[in-house]
Amino acid sequence: MKMKRVFPILALLTAVLLSFALYEALVAAPTEQTMGNVQRIFYYHVPSAWTAFLLFFINFVCSIQYLVRPNPVADKLTNWTVLAIGIAACIAAFVIRPLPEGIEPSSVATTGLAITGLYFLIKKCFSQPRTDALAVVTAEVGVVFCTIVLVTGPLWARPVWGIWWTWDVRLTSTLVLWLIYISYLMLRRFSTSGQTPVLAAALAVFGALDVPLVYFSIWIFRTQHPQPVIGGGGSIDPRMLHVLLINWLAFLCFAALVCWSRYRLEILQREVEETQALEALLEPRSSP
């Protein structure tokens, strides 16, 4: 099978990329003025966060598709909605003036198109039951990356700001996202229903609705009680941006490989369980 040969090659390439990215982060990147070397945690913290969010977003798309596809009306409606989001994002990017600070029109348009593209890509490549398998995979790997974000965050905050944790927007939203997906994984593990995928998909939808609300509520909270902002915005040195993007690319490749392995494991496991179920059905007949 072609897959078997491709995987080790990709794994090797990813390992090389990760090592290179590590070198860039630790050695080649310029030292930050105020924070010193500790700032280099940034190169692992931020890519992990972006990867986790991407994975959770894919999980959300899969959950929606799993719920919506069996019903042709809902399916069509969702298709059109997703298409509308993409088009609206493109229009909004160039029509809305002025944009909130730090956001470029091109990134708004790209994000909108990416959402639409991702939705239809997943729809094309994965049948409905496999969408569920992908959902499990992205949830698990997403939780792994999210854990890393929550561990590296405080490790960065402590030497720089003197505190392990603060209820700022980003950290709290990430924590809630992490909690929601842990509860998602627990539901999957503890559910005895035959329709676990449906229940889990419903939970994922709830989680997705929740996160913007969390973000907004903490944002209000922060404007009422100003607190330190971890990893504040503002412009970034282009050399640092370069290293950041390299690390992100490396971690994306790594995440893709991990997801691929986990996905194959999941599909294999489902096949085994089906076979075992069939065996159990056929056995009683053979025994006296």
Which span sits near another protein by CB under 8 A: 79-87, 105-113, 238-246, 256-264?
256-264
In this structure, are residues 43 and 244 in contact, taking their beta carbons and an 8 Å threshold? yes
* Binding of another protein by 210 (CB under 8 A): yes
Read off the amino acid at residue 28: A
Which span sits near another protein by CB under 8 A: 5-13, 83-91, 126-134, 148-156?
148-156
Quote the CA–CA distance of 184 and 202 in Å, as a whole number. Answer: 10
Quote the CA–CA distance of 187 and 130 in Å, as a whole number. Answer: 19
Distances (CA, A) of 56 to 49, 121, 177, 249, 285: 11, 16, 9, 18, 45
Least CB distance to another protein at residue 232 (A): 19
What's the alpha-carbon Rg for the chain, to the nearest Å? Answer: 22
Contacts of residue 74, defined as CB under 8 A and 6 or more positions apart, other chains included, come to: 67, 68
Q: Which residue in the set 10, 11, 15, 38 belongs to the binding site for another protein (CB under 8 A)? A: 38
Least CB distance to another protein at residue 131 (A): 15
* Binding of another protein by 279 (CB under 8 A): yes
Q: Which residue in the set 46, 221, 242, 256 belongs to the binding site for another protein (CB under 8 A)? A: 221
Q: Strand, coil or helix: what is 193? A: coil
Least CB distance to another protein at residue 194 (A): 6
* Binding of another protein by 230 (CB under 8 A): no
Q: Which residue in the set 13, 125, 206, 239 belongs to the binding site for another protein (CB under 8 A)? A: 206
Residue among 118 and 185 whose Cβ is closer to another protein? 185
Least CB distance to another protein at residue 149 (A): 10
State how far Cα 176 lies from the chain centre. Answer: 14
- Interactions with another protein, residue window 69-98 (CB under 8 A): none
Residue among 81 and 183 whose Cβ is closer to another protein? 183
Could you write out the three-class secondary structure of 24-88?
A: HHHHHCCCECCCEHHHHHHHHHHHHHHHHHHHHHHHHHHHHHHHHCCCHHHHHHHHHHHHHHHHH
* Binding of another protein by 198 (CB under 8 A): yes
Which span sits near another protein by CB under 8 A: 95-103, 128-136, 149-157, 226-234?
149-157
Dihedral Cα 184, 201, 171, 220, nearest 10 deg: -130
Q: Which residue in the set 44, 53, 119, 126 belongs to the binding site for another protein (CB under 8 A)? A: 44
Tokens of 51: 């990867």
Distances (CA, A) of 272 to 139, 175, 265: 22, 35, 10
* Binding of another protein by 60 (CB under 8 A): no
Contacts to another protein by CB under 8 A: 22, 26, 37-38, 40-41, 44-45, 48, 67, 141, 144, 147-148, 151-152, 155-156, 158-159, 176, 179-180, 182-183, 186-187, 190-195, 198-199, 202-203, 205-207, 209-210, 213-214, 216-218, 220-221, 224, 254, 258, 261-262, 265, 268-269, 272, 275-276, 279
